[in-house]
Amino acid sequence: MSELNDLYQEIILDHNKNPRNWGKIDAATHFAEGFNPLCGDRVDLYLIVNNDKIEDIKFEGNGCAISKASASVMTTLIKGKSLADAAAIYNEFHKIITEGCDHNHDIDENLEVFCGVKQYPGRVKCAALAWHTLNDILKRNGTNGK
């Protein structure tokens, strides 16, 4: 559990235990599912997009603590945002998990929780699962991240 303690911190443990925006959306305009074969994590992502704005987002899934918590944190950051803003947040997240936080001067404080993920290569795909699934949806709209 020491790895968990270092990496996930309280916020991650909290999101894992009480995931935000958990569930299905029957009237979803967008749906995508993600799977991380390395760990067995699965995520189903439901969005209601109206006039390029993400009016609602929910998810369900099975997986390790980091995959679930990362999805939960993501929904809180994306909900209510425009598709372009969501793509920008995705890009910042992606930079953090691949490069860490050392070179980034203006990190959204809500993304700081992911700064340590890079140190655990086996966990990067877990943390990124929901975000890549979101990016699959953004790609369909032509506003995907890099």
Please tell me the number of Cα atoms within 13 Å of 82 on its side-chain side: 7
CA separation for the pair 98, 95 (Å, rounded): 5
Q: Count Cβ atoms below 10 Å from residue 99 Cβ, excluding itself.
A: 11
Angle at 42 between CA 125 and CA 109, to 5 degrees: 50
Q: Closest approach of Cβ 138 to Zn ion, in Å? A: 22
Residue 22 vs 35, nearer CB to Zn ion: 35
Q: Closest approach of Cβ 84 to Zn ion, in Å? A: 29
List contacts with Zn ion (CB under 5 A): 39, 41, 64, 67, 126
Residue 40 vs 80, nearer CB to Zn ion: 40
Q: Closest approach of Cβ 8 to Zn ion, in Å? A: 12
Residue 57 vs 130, nearer CB to Zn ion: 130
